[in-house]
Structure 1
Amino acid sequence: MIPTPLCQPAKRLSAILCAAGLALVLAGPAVAQVTAFKQSVAVASYGNDEIGAFYRDRNYAPLWTGQGPEQTARRAALIEALSSADLHGLPQGRYDVDALMRRMAAARTARDLGEVEVALSREFVRFARDIQTGLLTPASVDGGIVRTVERQSPDTYLRGLAEGPARDYIRGLPPRSQQYRTLLKEKLRLEALIATGGWGAKAPGGKYEPGDAGTGVVALRDRLIRMGYLQRSASPRYDSAMESAVRDFQAAHGLAEDGVAGSGTLEEINRQAGDRLKSVIVALERERWLPRDRGDRHVLVNLADFSSRIVDDGRVTFRTRSVIGKNTSDRRSPEFSDEMEHMVINPSWFVPRSIATKEYLPKLRANPNAVSHLVITDSRGRRVNRGAVDFSQFSARSFPFSMRQPPGQRNALGLVKFMFPNKYNIYLHDTPEKNLFAYEVRAFSHGCIRLAEPFEFAYALLSRQEEDPKAFFHRVLNSGQETRVDLDVHVPVHIDYRTAVAGTRGEVEYRRDVYGRDGRIWSALSAAGVVLPSVQG
């Protein structure tokens, strides 16, 4: 939401443009002034075909620099929006309001006014794009963020502004999601907190658990009080109240909820408020990258939270723990949106070529009977007799075979996979390695998303099309046959990565930056001019 404008900038701007308009009236014949204005707009918009086309289509009628009430309202709405860009985590210096004001004040001729007209349009379009769909280009920051951002054209923004009340149109540009609103509130809260010294002194390193006492426990107690997890107390002991506070903190930060302040928990407790503010500002930018229409029903995977959810009409109706891609250059799970079309019950695993050549070919060279659970086939799909092949003659490039694991309990995909066909070969699936879900950090896969409760996930998806989804699923499963089950209505899937995310009660929760992606986004935002308050703790 754009805040209420300060009266002074609007009054200054109105006075400047009124004075400029009066100067133009006195300067010469009206027809000559109009012609000079049109020529100036045409020249100033050179290099931006869409802005130029917008003005040609309206016969160069001014959008900003006329003296009518609509133009006055547009100027005021733009100035107030640019002046409050930092409220949304955008760099205030990117929109030089003072320079615009000086330029308007200096306008004395129709040509000057035409240049100001286009300057205002350019600045408006840049701001509109930044606040609606993001300041950065995701893939240029991190190659794993392969999300396609739905950018609007300059013409779309200018026509939208021209068609209705300017202030309402500009206020409608930022994301309208509850997530975005909650993040904005958290940003303001953290900025106020930082201005008053943050969360105070850090707790000393070590390990603290119920029954402990001493100066370290007192420091931990004081920090938890400042953070809002513990009521004020003078107790020097790690009592039940502190244990409960630590558990609450762990739950809000994706940590194992054991009530013990070990090294991992202390590391998160001791993070500065400024670090959390960076996460919030990055999350605001990320929210701008997501599609505005995410689907009444959609699947949301938060890689940083190691979780997958089904969201119905804005409410989470199913949630399960997930395993994501290992934190190596060739295995990190990418971020993108697509549509889930079907599931496969009792799936085969068709081994990706990269895995077949990098992991399995060296084993076959050493022993042709290695990885015997996999079927090797030739280009025509015929099973290969391993004993008749000299695998040592093949390189990763020349390996001519395909590899497949038949359906079964030990299949790498488990007993069901959920497909949203994409060029990255990423999907959601079951796994026989159930022990991995007990880990706090669950980055183990080759890139696909493994689900802790895949059957329940399937029931939830099928609930919209089957009277008894559980019975239907198990009837197909018990057949032992590989079976494709189409979804009557495709379900959007959004694979995202959030280290700051709104919780179910309207609070913001935090997660570790397991891939370092949010750190890279923050660096790019900082390079673009986003700054933090100077006092932290």
Structure 2
Amino acid sequence: MLLSPTRPGFLRFMAGVFALFVSLSLTAPAQAEMTAFKQAVASSAARDQHIAAFYQARDYKPFWTAANANSKRRALIEALREAPEHGLPAARYDVDGLLAQLEAAKTPKARGVVEVEMSRVFLQFARDIQTGVLVPGRVDNDIKREVPYRDRLSYLVNFAKSNPRSFFRALPPKSNEYARLVKEKAKLESLLGSGGWGAVVPSKSLKPAETGAAVVALRNRLIAMGFLRRTTTQTFDANIQKAVQQFQLAHGLEPDGVAGASTMEEINKGVDDRLRSVLVAMERERWMNMPRGKRHILVNLTDFTAKVMDNDTLTFETRSVVGATASDRRSPEFSDVMEFMVINPTWNVPRSIAVKEYLPMFQRNPNAAGHLRLVDSRGRTVSRSAVNFGAYTARNFPFNIKQPPGQRNALGLVKFMFPNKYNIYLHDTPAKNLFAREVRAYSHGCIRLQQPFEFAYTLLAKQTNDPEGFFRSKLNTGVETVVPLDEPVPVHLIYRTAFTKAKGHMQYRRDVYGRDARIWNALSDAGVALRAVRG
């Protein structure tokens, strides 16, 4: 039955048709705009699989440019503005250019392009501030550190579910070391803006009781650095001597209170030098943005020390000798887990040492280094007199070289093992004289300990009530004994020319392998710059 134009049902039908017509006429352009936006997003995101996956999962709808995304945009811009505070390359994120692009985006296509650009900048910044600007191994082959990179897609997914400001606050390392480095960076930037520590000391060396203009310059510089209270003395007196000692301790120098050549070189380094070291240390700290272990062992190669840390507090410390500066002997940087110690160890001479050092020695004199044994592939000891060493080269030398346990063993009386492909470990040594030296880079790469027994007692204290008695009972047998650690301990071989203490002066060390210089150059190439902040 046809509806009469005057019936209520007909009127309702026509009202519906009119509403549909209005709806279609309004949404068609909007739909076209959304289609153009999505096409622009899909096209721009195609170059990055993680960004593409993120937008595909949300049907290419706007994330940063949506009407309700003000808090996300604001948090991102604020975080990017703070990039220099973390020693990051601000130009890499170009926050002003991003804002200009956002402001100029008047068409759906332009909004789609800037939408993806914001995601790209967000991902770049998030990774940089959390795990570093550089890839360590590309800067130096001996930096073997495995950076704890997060999945890039997870940054976007987690940010979408998080409070925007809280998300950005959670990205940088939460270690006390990083927080103190950020504070030191700000202090140095302010010093740089106000002229630094003043004039350099115009002398190669100074000693107690000396007087004159150079002593005054030394006095003024020590005051500016915070090692000496204000004084008008013009003589290298007891207070200046004590200040020099404190400076030496803070810079890894022998604390004799005499401003000799090495001390004067460090005293005359400028604020800019120290700021570079701090910026590099911050980058290094980002590479290690992961739990270190409630108990862990920390070996700082530049400081020539090995430490046992418990809950970020120093439990034990000993001097160490690290790899020599020759390119094939430098100690690498990496983290692993110490699983056991070997008391009365046999020294299995590494292949590289056997063929580079001992084979030429045996070719000159078959009886040289008589404390070493030749062992064939079946584990049998071979008489030197039965071997024609001249017939062998580094490639075809068929023997292993071993040194049995004993006082003269190159590994001393105990070694600490964290099995790794670099064949690096911590150990005792009969060469005790090297620990008295200021720069202790002499080994083939392994870490020698000045107090290995005490180090062992500290580790064993977690699993026996009498660690010293237990250790000595194994040692006195003279037999090689493997002692597993009930709780394996993480080991971190690090390289820091700038590091902090919870209390006291900032610590600086010399760049013995030149690694930090290479890292700074790479950071500078990436856009990291020194800032002088004027009050």
Give the secondary structure class of the aligned counterpart of 1:198. coil
Report if the CA contact (8 A) 2:173-2:289 is conserved. no
Report if the CA contact (8 A) 2:130-2:289 is conserved. no
Q: Report Cα offsets for 1:162-201 as digits up to 9, x if no partner.
A: 1111111011100000000000000000000011100111
2:33 alignment partner AA: Q
Aligned to 2:308: 310
Report if the CA contact (8 A) 1:342-1:484 is conserved. yes
- Between the two proteins, the alignment pairs up a number of residues equal to 510
Give the secondary structure class of the aligned counterpart of 2:234. coil
Aligned partners of 1:215, 1:321: CA distance in 2, in Å?
37
Structure 2 counterparts to residues 408-423 of structure 1, below 5 A: 408-423=406-421
**Shift of the alpha carbon at 1:33?**
2.6
State which drifts further: 226-235 or 129-138.
226-235
Aligned partners of 1:31, 1:523: CA distance in 2, in Å?
51
Q: Report Cα offsets for 1:434-453 as digits up to 9, x if no partner.
A: 11000000000000001111
Aligned to 1:19: none
1:440 alignment partner AA: E
Give the secondary structure class of the aligned counterpart of 1:474. helix
Aligned partners of 2:75, 2:279: CA distance in 1, in Å?
24
Aligned to 1:36: 36
2:386 aligned residue (365, 388, 394): 388
Report if the CA contact (8 A) 2:298-2:493 is conserved. yes
Aligned to 2:440: 442
Aligned CA distance change for structure 1 residues 26 and 97 (closer, same or farther; 3 Å): farther
Report if the CA contact (8 A) 1:302-1:496 is conserved. yes
Aligned to 2:4: none
Report if the CA contact (8 A) 1:347-1:416 is conserved. yes
Aligned to 1:279: 277
**Shift of the alpha carbon at 1:220?**
0.7
Give the secondary structure class of the aligned counterpart of 1:530. coil
Aligned to 2:482: 484
Give the secondary structure class of the aligned counterpart of 1:268. helix
**Shift of the alpha carbon at 1:64?**
1.0
Report if the CA contact (8 A) 2:344-2:406 is conserved. yes
Q: Report Cα offsets for 1:85-136 as digits up to 9, x if no partner.
A: 1110111111111211121111122222221111111100000000000000
Report if the CA contact (8 A) 1:183-1:508 is conserved. no
2:332 aligned residue (321, 331, 334): 334
Aligned to 2:527: 529
Structure 2 counterparts to residues 182-221 of structure 1, below 5 A: 182-221=180-219
Aligned to 1:356: 354
Q: Report Cα offsets for 1:387-409 as digits up to 9, x if no partner.
A: 11110111111111100000001
Give the secondary structure class of the aligned counterpart of 1:479. coil
Aligned CA distance change for structure 1 residues 523 and 26 (closer, same or farther; 3 Å): farther
Larger Rg: 2
Aligned to 1:49: 49
Aligned partners of 1:91, 1:288: CA distance in 2, in Å?
14
Q: Report Cα offsets for 1:118-163 as digits up to 9, x if no partner.
A: 1111100000000000000101111110111111122111011111
Report if the CA contact (8 A) 1:331-1:445 is conserved. yes
**Shift of the alpha carbon at 1:346?**
0.5
Give the secondary structure class of the aligned counterpart of 1:491. strand
Aligned partners of 2:241, 2:94: CA distance in 1, in Å?
50
Aligned partners of 1:151, 1:533: CA distance in 2, in Å?
28
Q: Report Cα offsets for 1:313-366 as digits up to 9, x if no partner.
A: 111111111100000110000000111111101100000011011111111011
Aligned to 2:299: 301
Q: Report Cα offsets for 1:264-291 as digits up to 9, x if no partner.
A: 1000000001000000000000000014
State which drifts further: 244-253 or 93-102.
93-102
Aligned CA distance change for structure 1 residues 137 and 406 (closer, same or farther; 3 Å): same
Aligned partners of 1:396, 1:102: CA distance in 2, in Å?
63
Aligned CA distance change for structure 1 residues 128 and 26 (closer, same or farther; 3 Å): farther
Matching of residue 462 in structure 1 with residue 460 in structure 2: yes
Aligned partners of 1:27, 1:201: CA distance in 2, in Å?
72
Report if the CA contact (8 A) 2:190-2:533 is conserved. no
Q: Report Cα offsets for 1:200-252 as digits up to 9, x if no partner.
A: 11112232222111111111111111111111111111111001100000010
Aligned CA distance change for structure 1 residues 110 and 492 (closer, same or farther; 3 Å): same
Q: Which runs of 5+ in 2 are unaligned?
A: 1-24
Aligned partners of 2:301, 2:242: CA distance in 1, in Å?
27
Aligned CA distance change for structure 1 residues 257 and 506 (closer, same or farther; 3 Å): closer
Matching of residue 515 in structure 1 with residue 513 in structure 2: yes
**Shift of the alpha carbon at 1:529?**
1.1
1:175 alignment partner AA: P
Give the secondary structure class of the aligned counterpart of 1:304. coil
**Shift of the alpha carbon at 1:414?**
0.5
Identity %: 57
2:106 alignment partner AA: R
Q: TM-score, normalised by structure 2?
A: 0.93
1:500 alignment partner AA: A
Structure 2 counterparts to residues 66-105 of structure 1, below 5 A: 66-68=66-68, 71-105=69-103
Q: Report Cα offsets for 1:499-518 as digits up to 9, x if no partner.
A: 00011416421001011100
1:45 alignment partner AA: A
Aligned CA distance change for structure 1 residues 114 and 27 (closer, same or farther; 3 Å): farther
Aligned partners of 1:507, 1:33: CA distance in 2, in Å?
61
Q: Report Cα offsets for 1:33-75 as digits up to 9, x if no partner.
A: 333222221111102111111122222232211111xx11110
1:236 aligned residue (211, 234, 237): 234
Aligned partners of 1:57, 1:466: CA distance in 2, in Å?
55
Aligned partners of 1:182, 1:377: CA distance in 2, in Å?
53
1:316 alignment partner AA: L
Aligned partners of 1:62, 1:474: CA distance in 2, in Å?
69
1:156 aligned residue (143, 150, 154): 154
State which drifts further: 108-117 or 318-327.
108-117
2:285 alignment partner AA: E
